[in-house]
Structures are given as structure tokens and as C-alpha cells.
């Protein structure tokens, strides 16, 4: 049985840091929207509009957005193979085959690319408010800097590869990681 330290060292790579970090980011954003949409509406209002009460449509939109973010968080963990699924839920082939890392993570790189796109677009949206002096709030600071950090981590995960693809070995990017054999 591996020790806790060896398990942490094994998971301390850009891929797992990105998968767990992005999932946690989506979870935090989603759970706040589900638990208290009125407070979240206040966070995104310009400071001059602070005492305004959110209307029903704003509350509904924020609330449903929260469930979407929670769903994204779970999808990321499952498709990125960060959380092992029970045997009854894993696999999609009709024939029993051995489960290798390559088979278990067919969508890992695609999920990283799609979530990077999401971080870039939501970061750009947060920046549109953040850049205006009348709209600058702590929520926008968190949105801009959080999305920039997760985008950079996602790029690192793509460059250094998904575990099991042979991407990380001796400081070179392997052919399976999408790169020519070169020194980093």
C-alpha cells in the first residue's frame, strides 16, 4: 500500500493540479451561486448600484448557472479520470479489455483544451468589468487573476502531458504529447 506522501508526490504534476484546481474553481463558483444567488448578484453589481435588490430573472439565472458550474466540475473530474469510477460505470466497450491509462483517459487533453477556452472567455468577461473604475470589485479581481492562473496551469498541463502518455520523461516532450522529440 503506497504511503500518503508517495501518493501526493505522484499527483503533484501539472495535469492533476489543473484538473483538481479547475474542478475546485468551478465548485466554489457553483456552490455560492446555488446557496445564495442574491449575494452573488451583489458581488457583480458596480459599487454605485450596491443597494439594488436583484430581480427574479437575475436570481434564476445565477442559480441555474451555479448548477451548470457544479456539473462542469463533476464532468471534469470524471472525463479527466481524476476520480476512479466503479467498474459498473467505467468503460464503454462491448468487449472486456484491459484498462490502460491511454484507454481510461481518451478525453483528457480535449477536456483541458475546452476548459482553457472557458477560462479565457470568462476571464475576458471579468476583465471587461474589472477594467472600468466604476465596476472594479474584489469579485472581478478574483475572476481575472483566477482565470489567468488556471489558463497558465492548463497550458502547462498540455505541454507536459497527461500522465501515461509518455510525455514526461527526462525533460523532453514526447511525440504522444503532440510535440517533436525536443529538450525543454
DSSP string, 48-80: GGTTPPP-HHHHHHHHHHHHHHHHHHHHHHHHT
| C-alpha cell read off for 7 | 501518493
Instruction: Note the pLDDT of residue 98.
Output: 55
Summarised one tens digit per residue, pLDDT across range 57-113 is 989 999 999 999 999 999 888 888 777 777 766 655 444 555 554 455 677 888 889
Please report which confidence band the pLDDT of residue 134 belongs to, taking 50, 70 and 90 as the band edges.
Answer: confident
138: pLDDT strictly greater than 70 = yes
CA angle 16, 17, 18 (to 5 degrees): 90
What value does the mean pLDDT take over residues 121-141?
84
Helix (H, G, I), strand (E, B) or coil at 172: strand
Assign 172 a pLDDT band (cuts: 50, 70, 90): very low
Looking at every residue in the chain, the average pLDDT score rounds to 77
pLDDT at residue number 11: 62
d(CA 67, CA 98): 35
Amino acid at each position: 500500500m503506497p504511503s500518503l506522501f508517495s501518493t501526493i508526490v505522484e499527483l503533484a504534476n501539472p495535469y492533476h493540479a489543473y484538473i483538481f484546481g479547475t474542478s475546485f474553481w468551478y465548485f466554489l463558483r457553483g456552490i455560492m451561486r446555488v446557496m445564495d444567488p442574491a449575494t452573488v448578484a451583489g458581488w457583480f453589481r458596480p459599487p454605485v448600484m450596491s443597494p439594488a435588490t436583484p430581480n427574479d430573472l437575475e436570481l434564476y439565472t445565477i442559480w441555474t448557472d451555479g448548477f451548470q458550474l457544479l456539473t462542469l466540475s463533476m464532468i471534469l473530474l470524471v472525463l479527466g479520470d481524476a476520480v476512479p469510477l466503479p467498474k459498473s460505470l467505467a468503460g464503454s466497450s462491448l468487449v472486456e479489455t484491459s484498462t490502460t491509462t491511454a484507454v481510461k483517459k481518451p478525453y483528457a487533453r480535449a477536456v483541458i483544451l475546452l476548459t482553457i477556452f472557458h477560462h479565457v472567455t470568462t476571464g475576458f468577461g471579468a476583465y471587461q468589468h474589472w477594467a472600468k473604475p466604476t465596476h472594479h470589485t474584489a469579485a472581478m479581481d478574483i475572476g481575472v487573476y483566477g482565470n489567468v492562473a488556471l489558463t497558465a496551469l492548463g497550458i502547462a498541463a498540455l505541454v507536459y502531458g497527461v500522465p501515461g502518455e509518455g510525455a514526461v520523461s527526462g525533460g523532453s516532450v514526447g511525440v504522444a504529447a503532440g510535440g517533436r522529440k525536443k529538450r525543454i
